[in-house]
Amino acid sequence: MITKMGFGDLIYFPIGSIPRKLEFFVVNSLETDTMTLNLPNGKIPILPETVKEIFGIPMGETMLERQRGERSEEDYDDEDDIQNFEAGESSHQQQKEDEDDNAELELKVTKICEQEQTAEDKDAGNENEGGNKSENKDDDEAKGTKEVTNQKNETGESSQQHLKDDEDEQDKSEKNKDAGNDNEDGNKSENKDANEGKETKEVINQKSETGESSHQHLKYDEDEQDKSEKNKDAGNDNEDGNKSENKDANEGKETKEVTNQKSETVMTDEDLEDSISKSKKQDEKEESDSLRLKEIKESDKKNQEEAENITDSKSPEKQPKTFKRQHSDDEETPKKDEDKKMKKRKINNLQSPYVKTRVNVENQLTEDEKLLGRSIFSMKEDEAETVFSDEDGNMMMRMSIQSLAPSLEVETPVIDVFASILNNEERFSNRTFKRHYFHTGMMMPGVIEIKNAKPKDKEKVISKQYDVFQEVLGIQMKQDLQQMQMEDVDLVFFPIISSEHYYLIVLNIQKGNAVIIDNSESDATYDGKYKDNYDLVKGVFLSHLKTYENSKEEMLSEKLNKFKPKLLKMNWRTREERIDCGVYMMAHMELYEGETVAAKWKTGLLEEKDKGHREQIDNLRSKYAAKIILHQENEDEIKKKMTEYAYEFAAEYTDEETMEKDVNEAINKKKAELKKAGTSGS
């Protein structure tokens, strides 16, 4: 139904959820008058054509029906939609007819089963009545019956031996048949003279033997049941023995009950034939019913498959890009042998040595970090695929983690996810001070607006941004008043992105000071580069502490308003490189512990002129990528999937040199695409 209305592509849209911070950012950046998103890198117009291209939904007015049948072919825009409409109507009508036929057939089958069950219950009642009559035989026969009872042990042993030897059993059955034929008159008369009484005893003995044999046969498999059929033929003329012999496997329980009775039910030849006929007819009906029920199920399954085919009837060209890729993967079943072997063997997840500890900037890459980094930076797989998702709703797509590749500018989702990971690690830290990291969006769009605001309007920008800050922070901290009061926090980190450049503003709540940490060594002044953004952060955060009555708010407010923040001048600051500011900021976030003198802050980061500087920064990119993807906060299924991707990627190459070459080519291609799109370095 959704597909036929033109909204089928929404079903396969690859993004299942949107972070709250992104929602606020989009809302605050949207100009409803012009339908334009104002972003740091430029403006994005939102047009009907854009919505159709991304979501695959139709443009213009479309009549929506409340019920099937209220929409005609004229309401559909193109030939494909008309075909889908006609196919859907035809399938619906056929499915309705099949459902009616199936319901009628099932009702008939149910009635047949009920009638057969009633017939079986009636037959069982007749047999029980016959058994009761046999117990009321006259006194003349009682004496003979007693003698037969005394001989049961002997006949029972004979019957057991008879079951072990198939040939002997057949011979005995033939003899029993002859004996029964010779003494037919003795079986029909109950008051024969003394000479005929002896023959009557022999016939009853044969009857007992046959009855015991039937009881034993019920415990064996189908081969033993064939033997039982032979015994039935042998006892056709023995009226009492035939009672238990002619019950099939479905009447086994009733046969066992009749055999165990003290006296057997007498059955005529005509009754025997009727019983066999009924049994055969019942078997035929049950088989027929079973076949029809099977046809019903197959018909239902076929109808369901047809309905699914109609839903998927849109051509691959009109489906979202990610959905087309999934179809392509399904069709490319003959993959390489390495891929098949990879799926069969058990793969251990890749590991990062920095899942619970800070990254050591001086160490070389581990094999797992190297393997994962190359598979990510090869720019393969779907860019919209989710590669990070935690319980707090933070998520990141593959296109963002790919921005950690060497010579590319790090995207803000990487910074925000990294901040969430560091906050998680702070909860388990045994250090005497506590740090808290805010997301880049906490000061957006205020950072953009305050640069162009007049001095008299800057307070309005700060007040407006405070409202955004409060709402987003409340969501992140789940309205926990104790967390939002921040009495136990020492340092708060605000990552700033301004003029396509990253740097940090850090406030020390307990000591009442602030520092700015920027890897870029420039000739810009404090007032020209940092003042507006610092005033925005200071104004918003002091308002927050005052609202939640933090005990240090007055002291911090007094000192921050009296003194300028200190700009740390580290010896690893760079002049030439403009693209690695995001990587440096991630290192500063993780390594800074409140130092106010740059010379006392030991990080292990090399100076720009050091020959190992370039390799160190590129290695940091892979280390941070591995820490984020393989962190305990990320979903296990995602970590497993990313591990499989890495091994499959490695299996495509026989030597490391070729792999490295292909990765570098993929990065350069991505860099060219970004440059063409207008994205510049930091």
User: In the 8-state DSSP scheme, what is residue 433?
Assistant: S
Mean pLDDT, the chain, integer: 74
Q: Does residue 325 carry a pLDDT above 60?
A: no
Question: What value does the mean pLDDT take over residues 309-318?
Answer: 43
Q: Which of 101-105, 173-177, 442-446, 562-566 has the lowest mean pLDDT?
A: 173-177
Residue 497's beta-bridge partner residues? 502
Assess contact for 565 and 541: CB atoms under 8 A: no
Which residues lie closer than 8 Å to 113 by C-beta, 6 or more apart?
A: 289
Q: Does residue 417 carry a pLDDT above 80?
A: yes
User: In the 8-state DSSP scheme, what is residue 36?
Assistant: E
Residue burial 599-608, b: 16+ Cβ < 10 Å; e: rest: eebebebbeb
- Give the separation between CA 584 and CA 599, rounded to whole angstroms: 17
Which two structure tokens, joined as six digits, stand for 681?
Answer: 């370095």
Q: Does residue 9 carry a pLDDT above 70?
A: no
In the chain, count of helices (H) and strands (E)?
Answer: 27, 10
Q: Of 538, 531, 532, 585, which Cα lies nearest the Cα of 558? A: 538
Domain positions in the chain: 2-55, 348-409+604-681, 411-602
Would you state the pLDDT for residue 289?
58
Question: What value does the mean pLDDT take over residues 336-350?
Answer: 56
Q: 325 phi and psi, to 5 degrees?
A: -65, -35
Would you state the pLDDT for residue 391?
92
- Percentage of residues in the chain with pLDDT exceeding 70? 54
How does strand 435-437 pair with strand 566-567?
unpaired
Give residue 200's pLDDT band: very low, low, confident or very high (50, 70, 90).
very low
Q: Does residue 346 carry a pLDDT above 90?
A: no
- Give the separation between CA 237 and CA 233, rounded to whole angstroms: 9
Residue 58 burial by Cβ neighbours in a 10 Å radius (0-12, 13-18, 19+): middle
Q: Which of 49-53, 235-239, 266-270, 480-484 has the lowest mean pLDDT?
A: 235-239
Q: Which of 36-50, 249-263, 345-359, 578-592 has the lowest mean pLDDT?
A: 249-263
Would you state the pLDDT for residue 311?
45
Q: Does residue 554 carry a pLDDT above 90?
A: yes
Q: Which CATH class is domain 411-602?
A: alpha beta
Question: What value does the mean pLDDT take over residues 595-604?
Answer: 94
- Give the separation between CA 375 and CA 645, rounded to whole angstroms: 7
Q: Does residue 624 carry a pLDDT above 60?
A: yes
Q: Does residue 201 carry a pLDDT above 60?
A: no
Q: Does residue 151 carry a pLDDT above 50?
A: no
Give residue 432's pLDDT band: very low, low, confident or very high (50, 70, 90).
confident
Q: Read off the pLDDT of residues 491-530 as tens digits, 9 standing for 90 and up.
A: 999 999 998 999 999 999 999 999 999 999 988 999 999 9
Q: Does residue 263 carry a pLDDT above 80?
A: no
- pTM of the predicted model over 0.85: no
- Percentage of residues in the chain with pLDDT exceeding 90? 44
Would you state the pLDDT for residue 158?
43
